[in-house]
A = this chain, B = another copy of it.
Amino acid sequence: MAGSSIGTLFRVTTWGESHGAGIGAVVDGCPAGLPLCEEDIQKFLDRRKPGSSQFTTQRKESDCVKILSGVFEAKTTGTPISLMIPNTSQISKDYSNIMDSYRPGHADYGFDSKYGFRDYRGGGRSSGRETAGRVAAGAIAIKLLENFGITFLTYVDQVGPVKIDESRFSVDEITKNALNMPDSVAAKEAEAYLAEKMSEKDSSGASITCKIQGCPVGLGEPVFDKMDAKLAQAIVSIGAVKAIEIGDGKSVVSATGTSNNDAFHMEDGQVRTLTNHAGGILGGMTNGEEILLHIAVKPTPSIFQEQKTVNRQHEDVTMTIAGRHDPIIAPRACVVVEAMSALMIADALMQNAVSRLDNLQKVYGLLDR
């Protein structure tokens, strides 16, 4: 499992399973001098934490982050920042029934095939808990990006058939409902829909919007590490994500060049576009407009109905999953999407800083600005 690290200069490595000692992340390459304390990270973990609503798992992790290294006198030192979130609420017996059988929609079968066996407790490394490390690391990226005026807004825009109505859009509303929807009316409808699904021992898919504002022009490396390509990797690497769209996304299929091109024009001395079909990225580089992402999240695969599957002995069996599972993944995934996006933007910001000789000369004091 090489592949537990992401990023070139702002580089994160995560570790940990659902039922081990904890979940952790090491952030290597965060610039020195960034003010940072545990509370800066904790507030993002709190957004990921199961709340008190009926739509979130009854597993209650305190999800309390510790900074183990890399910060001295409340500032990052440039050395690796080690973060740990101890597991405190493991109930191993909850998971005993999945030891032998492969849960549909889960990674169980893949793990056994790939590695010969698996830590079956709570999904092991494939548990949603793995994302706690991402969120902790991403919180540092977000703190870094604040210094450059780069901000994030992430919310659920659709739950099952219920979509938000842009005319009722309210940023404030996002944190006021259990589903992180920016439309109180839609949120209520979605809650009713979800309650129905839960009563049917079923779950629901949903869709997330992530908007990133304030990026300087030119972030992203123009070939394989395009800004949108790295965002795509980072976001699709979140379990349950099945589609990502940039800007107009899928609807470009039926668009024409005339309708899809964003005309440039000057606005307050800035190069801007009149529209933003591209979602802030052209040729893999940011163009200064809002980055706009839409993400499709599948329904929670852990449903409480009896399901057909096979066991480790490769026999047909049925299984019924017990335990603690959200009936919807997207609301808690919003902060994970934000974190992963921030990691990619921070890395691109650092890489872009050395793309020109004159920038390098500025850093080394060889150029008057």
Contacts and interface: CB of A to CB of B under 8 A. Distances in A.
User: Size range of the interface on A?
Assistant: 35 or more
Given A6-B224, A72-B124, A110-B286, A115 B355 contact: yes
Interface string A13-50: 11111001110101011011110000000000000000
B369 A203 contact: no
Interface string A239-265: 100111111111111111111111111
Interface string A124-137: 11100010000000
Interface string A106-134: 11111101111111000011100010000
Interface stretch (A55-63, A172-180, A230-238): A230-238
**Number of identical protomers:** 4
A229 interface: yes
Contacts of A357: 31-34, 76, 144, 147
B242 A359 contact: no
A1 B258 contact: no
A197 interface: yes
A93 interface: no
Contacts of A259: 299
B254 A161 contact: yes
Contact of A298 (B1, B225, B260): B260
A297 B245 CA distance: 11
Contact of A261 (B158, B233, B301): B301
B16 A28 contact: no
Contacts of A114: 32, 78, 217-218, 222, 285, 352, 355-356
Contacts of A31: 354-357, 359-360
